[in-house]
Amino acid sequence: MIFTQEHEELRRTVRNFVDKEINPHVDEWEKDGRFPIHEIFKKAGDLGLLGISKPEKFGGMGLDYSYSIVAAEEFGTIRCGGIPMSIGVQTDMCTPALARFGSDELREQFLAPAIAGDMVGCIGVSEVGAGSDVAGLKTTARKDGDDYVINGSKMWITNSPSADFICLLANTSDDKPHVNKSLIVVPMKTPGITVSPHLDKLGMRSSETAQVFFDNVRVPQRYRIGHEGAGFMMQMLQFQEERLFGAANIIKGLEYCVDSTIDYCKQRHTFGNPLIDNQAIHFRLAELQTEIECLRALVYQATEQYVKGRDVTKLASMAKLKAGRLGREVSDACLQYWGGMGFMWDNPVSRAYRDVRLVSIGGGADEIMLGIICKLMGILPGKKKG
Ligand SMILES: Cc1cc2nc3c(=O)[nH]c(=O)nc-3n(C[C@H](O)[C@H](O)[C@H](O)COP(=O)(O)OP(=O)(O)OC[C@H]3O[C@@H](n4cnc5c(N)ncnc54)[C@H](O)[C@@H]3O)c2cc1C
């Protein structure tokens, strides 16, 4: 990918925003189990950071997706995983389909305020009984006059306790599972919606994740994104951006693990010598940095193809898979060299160790990525090469 001066300016803008508005407060917000999402999103919205590749007509910058990836990479300098994940939900998980397939009315009502940072969004796909198996979800949206009446529940919904709207995937007919679903934008204040207390998570502590219940929730059918029955397909497209965001976003956090471990190993002595002088350690850190560069190259390659309008399902799935696996490898290897200090809760590497664990689970687990890659390689039993 070739970066222009505009890319570099965007990098600097994100970096300054993170250094000034977020990083000084991260430790406090991690302890609180939440961050002031409306305030932070408003500041990010004022800088244009929530609509980088969204249409200018609705307040976006109208730039190509390479700029979004540069921002995703730079948001990785936030010293925790929870806040960048929250931002990613807003920019790359609950709004791509709305921006691409939503009516002008819907985009005025929900996309424009999401880009401005006046509304917080969340994405409702997973259910207690349907995470990996998206096609098996049970929430229904039945037609009643001009409305849909929604019943069911969604599990592990990031941002939901503070969200103004949810981009909801629900069954709108009894047809086959891949053609019976629609994406519907549902305002979270609609009567019949309740949100559980936020869930107590292993990592991503500063982001709020909860279960959302729908009991005869009535919304106009015009809140549907695109055609009825096209929801599954639109969600699969939307996943491409979610997965590219996730892979790009992890890169700088992993580099921070390596860099902070190098610093620690320079000042920590064992048997009269700095730890870093052990070849087993400095070779290992060099190997990890090499792997991080490989991930970056894969993310950039996928992004370049995506900007050209190509289908990047395979490359985005590979990038997501690699990001999850490498995240675990780097954080685990680095934590080891901190010894007992690495086992302390507030250690930066131990936070990364807990946070990155989600990358191999959320947004499609590693095994789901492998299934997609196998299908596209033509080696999944019973499937043709696609
Ligand atoms: C912190 C957090 C935030 C989240 N945020 C959101 C959100 O905002 N919106 C949303 O919709 N969802 C969200 N999720 C849900 C997330 O996407 C799901 O947890 C994920 O898709 C896995 O689904 P599951 O938990 O039901 O696992 P299951 O589907 O029960 O799978 C369990 C495990 O089985 C294995 N597995 C599953 N299927 C196969 C297979 N075919 N072959 C081999 N192995 C397999 C995998 O290792 C998988 O991890 C979030 C989850 C967490 C933990």
242: enclosing H helix or E strand: helix 231-267
CATH number of the domain where residue 91 is located: 1.10.540.10
Q: What is the rounded average pLDDT of the residues 4-11?
A: 98
In this structure, the residue with its CA closest to atom 48 of ligand 1 is 365
Residue 384: inside a domain, yes or no?
Answer: no
22 inside domain: yes
Residues 129, 108 within the same domain = no
Separation of CA 215 and ligand 1 centre (Å) = 24
Q: Is residue 340 part of a domain?
A: yes
Residues 34 and 83 in one domain: yes
**Does 383 map to a domain?**
no
Rg, C-alpha atoms of the chain:
21
According to DSSP, the residues that pair with 363 across neighbouring strands are: none
Q: Does the CB atom of residue 161 touch ligand 1 within 6 A?
A: no
Assign residue 149 the CATH number of its domain.
2.40.110.10
Same domain, 32 and 101: yes
CA distances from 191 to 188, 213, 218, 346 (A): 8, 11, 8, 40
For tokens 């349907």, the residue is 130
Q: Which of 71, 104, 120 is the last residue of a domain?
A: 120
In a domain, 386, yes or no: no
Q: Which ligand 1 atom is the nearest neighbour of the CA of 126?
A: 11
Ligand 1 in reach of 209 Cβ (< 6 A): yes
Final residue before a domain boundary, out of 227, 252, 279:
227
Residue-wise pLDDT for 48-78, tens only, equals: 999 999 999 999 999 999 999 999 999 999 9
pLDDT of residue 21: 98
* Per-residue model confidence (pLDDT) at position 349: 98
Is 100 found in the same domain as 50?
A: yes
Indicate if 69 and 153 belong to the same structural domain.
Answer: no
Q: Answer whether residue 384 shows pLDDT above 90.
A: no
Three-state DSSP state, 310: coil
Domain of 108, in residue numbers? 5-120
Among 378, 369, 332, 372, residue whose Cα is nearest residue 352: 332
Query: What is the reported pLDDT for 255?
Result: 98
**Residue 382 lies inside a defined structural domain of this protein:** no
What is the Å distance from ligand 1's center to 335 Cα? 26
Residues 74 and 192 in one domain: no
Residues 83 and 199 in one domain: no
Q: Is 78 in the pocket of ligand 1 (CB under 6 A)?
A: no
On whether residue 385 sits in a domain, the answer given is: no
Same domain membership, residue 202 and residue 75: no
Mean pLDDT of 264-272: 98
Mean predicted confidence (pLDDT) in 259-285? 98
pLDDT exceeds 90 at position 37:
yes
pLDDT over 60 at 383, yes or no = no
Q: Is 134 in the pocket of ligand 1 (CB under 6 A)?
A: no
Quick one: 193 and 171 in the same domain? yes
**d(CA 48, ligand 1 centre) in Å:** 31
99 alpha carbon to ligand 1 midpoint, in Å?
Answer: 25
Tell me the per-residue pLDDT of 110-144, one tens digit each, with 9 for 90 and over: 999 999 999 999 999 999 999 999 999 999 999 99
Q: Total domain count for the chain? A: 3
Of 70, 95, 120, the one marking the end of a domain is 120
Considering the domain architecture, whether residues 351 and 289 belong to the same structural domain is answered as yes
381 pLDDT tier (thresholds 50, 70, 90): confident
Whether 112 and 237 share a structural domain: no
C-alpha to C-alpha distance for 67 and 101, rounded to whole angstroms: 21
Do 65 and 152 reside in the same domain of the chain?
no
Q: How confident is the model at residue 190 (pLDDT cuts 50, 70, 90)?
A: very high
For residue 320, give the CATH number of its domain.
1.20.140.10
The answer to whether residue 209 scores a pLDDT higher than 80 is: yes
Model pTM? 0.97
* Active-site position among 73, 74, 241, 242: 242
Please say if the pLDDT value at position 377 is more than 90. Answer: yes
Question: Which residues are CB-contacts of 188 (< 8 A; sequence separation ≥ 6)?
Answer: 122, 160, 163, 164, 165, 166, 195
Whether residue 313 is contained in a domain is answered as yes
Each residue's pLDDT tens digit, 319-366: 999 999 999 999 999 999 999 999 999 999 999 999 999 999 999 999
Distance (Å, whole) CA 335 – CA 350: 6
Is residue 242 part of the annotated active site? The answer reads yes
What does the DSSP assignment read for 17-58? HIIIIIGGGHHHHHHHT---HHHHHHHHHHTTTT-TTS-GGG
